[in-house]
Chains A and B, each alone.
Chain A
Amino acid sequence: MPAVHDRGGWPTDEPIDREEHEWADWERQTQSLRTVLDSRGIMNVDELRRGIESIEPAEYEASTYFERWSASIETNLVEKGVLTTEEIDERAKGLRDQWGYPE
């Protein structure tokens, strides 16, 4: 079996859904956070890709596009010692307490 991200030719006859979802602010922010981290020389597009491709297959398939970006940016920033998992945990919990949890 190819790796989970390597989708070319995977057996499926699922029709292509051409509906566009409405972008959430956090998705726009995540897209541009990556751009800025790249222009700052902190993380390039290949590191983003490597981070995405190292997501556990089950999570990869269950995640939305920018959820995978979020996971990869975190992997890279923690590996590089820019941020720690603990401080992201704490801040993310605070944000969810403030903005609510999905049902």
Chain B
Amino acid sequence: MSDNKDHGGFFDTGWRPSGDVHRDEDGRPHEHPGLQEDVGLGVRASRALAMHELLVEKGVLGENEVEEAIEAWSERVPSNGATLVAKAWADPEFKKRLLEHPKETVIESGFVPEHNADVIVLENTEDVQHMVVCTLCSCYPTALLGPPPDWYKSFSYRSRAVTEPRKVMSEFGLELEEETEVRVVDSNSELRFLVIPRRPEGTEGWSVEQLADLVNRNSMIGVAAATEPGTD
């Protein structure tokens, strides 16, 4: 799956339920709910697994309920957002509607906003660059972009995004013109942002599918530009 690189390996390895202990010929468990067999379980990891087991045993949760929720995450990928952006680039009427009625348009396009959060769509232009952060934690449009990357959740991004956004963008490879105004928007649990990056030049007449390939995840967070044609 080509989107794997955007998830930090989220779907790279098979899910193994914590209670399903497989044993080798010597009776030793060889599946491991932690990161690696030789790492062991940290305190909070073991307590999370313990809570899940107890909730299932008490009948508070169904046996496969969490596993099914994990499966559902495979539907939440950056190509969802990329499709919306590409359609907006290709169709001015769709872009107008996406900007004016973002949540309705997201839902009509077949996506379900996470815990019914509101959505705002912001367009980057020659004059204005929007960049998204969640200074308090990690709020993010997961229905459109998947789980947030580690750097989005890091202390350094959360701190620096609001004080030196140009420098942060520069670290991501985006050098803005001095005249371009920078607007940093702070997400919260009830409101998530999707950025429409600037459409690369030389893409006139491209199909939505072709355009969507240029819409990388970071450009929809506003820290990077869309991919230039021929450089992917």
Chain A residues proximal to chain B, CB less than 8 Å:
5-33, 35-40, 42, 44-46, 49, 52-53, 61, 63-71, 73-74, 77, 82-83, 87-88, 91-96, 98-103
Interface flags for B57-73 (1: CB within 8 Å of A; 0: not) read 00011000111011011
Residues of A within 8 A of B138 (CB): 65
B15 at the interface (CB under 8 A from A): yes
B128 at the interface (CB under 8 A from A): no
User: Once the chains bind, are B48 and A7 in contact (CB under 8 Å)?
Assistant: no
User: Once the chains bind, are B158 and A7 in contact (CB under 8 Å)?
Assistant: yes
Indicate whether A36 sits within 8 Å of B33 (C-beta atoms), given known contacts A8-B133, A92-B50.
Answer: no
Question: In whole angstroms, how far apart are the Cα atoms of A10 and B46 in the complex?
Answer: 32
Question: In whole angstroms, how far apart are the Cα atoms of A21 and B55 in the complex?
Answer: 28
User: Once the chains bind, are B136 and A102 in contact (CB under 8 Å)?
Assistant: no
User: Once the chains bind, are B47 and A88 in contact (CB under 8 Å)?
Assistant: yes
User: Once the chains bind, are A83 and B189 in contact (CB under 8 Å)?
Assistant: no
Indicate whether A8 sits within 8 Å of B158 (C-beta atoms), given known contacts A22-B8, A26-B33, A70-B47.
Answer: yes
Question: In whole angstroms, how far apart are the Cα atoms of A78 and B9 in the complex?
Answer: 32
Residues of A within 8 A of B66 (CB): 29, 32-33, 36
B159 at the interface (CB under 8 A from A): yes
A29 CB, nearest partner CB in chain B, Å = 6
A59 CB, nearest partner CB in chain B, Å = 10
User: Once the chains bind, are A31 and B147 in contact (CB under 8 Å)?
Assistant: yes
B14 CB, nearest partner CB in chain A, Å = 9
User: Once the chains bind, are A74 and B49 in contact (CB under 8 Å)?
Assistant: no
- Closest residue of chain B to A77 (Cβ to Cβ) is B51
B198 at the interface (CB under 8 A from A): no
> Which of B77-85, B102-110, B148-156, B174-182 makes up part of the contact surface?
B148-156
Question: In whole angstroms, how far apart are the Cα atoms of A76 and B150 in the complex?
Answer: 25
A13 CB, nearest partner CB in chain B, Å = 8
Residues of A within 8 A of B171 (CB): 15-16
- Closest residue of chain B to A71 (Cβ to Cβ) is B44
User: Once the chains bind, are B156 and A12 in contact (CB under 8 Å)?
Assistant: yes
Question: In whole angstroms, how far apart are the Cα atoms of A15 and B51 in the complex?
Answer: 36
User: Once the chains bind, are B48 and A30 in contact (CB under 8 Å)?
Assistant: yes
A60 CB, nearest partner CB in chain B, Å = 10
User: Once the chains bind, are A82 and B45 in contact (CB under 8 Å)?
Assistant: no
Which one of A16, A37, A44 has the highest number of Cβ atoms from chain B below 10 Å of its Cβ? A16
Residues of B within 8 A of A77 (CB): 51, 55
B35 at the interface (CB under 8 A from A): yes
- Closest residue of chain A to B159 (Cβ to Cβ) is A10
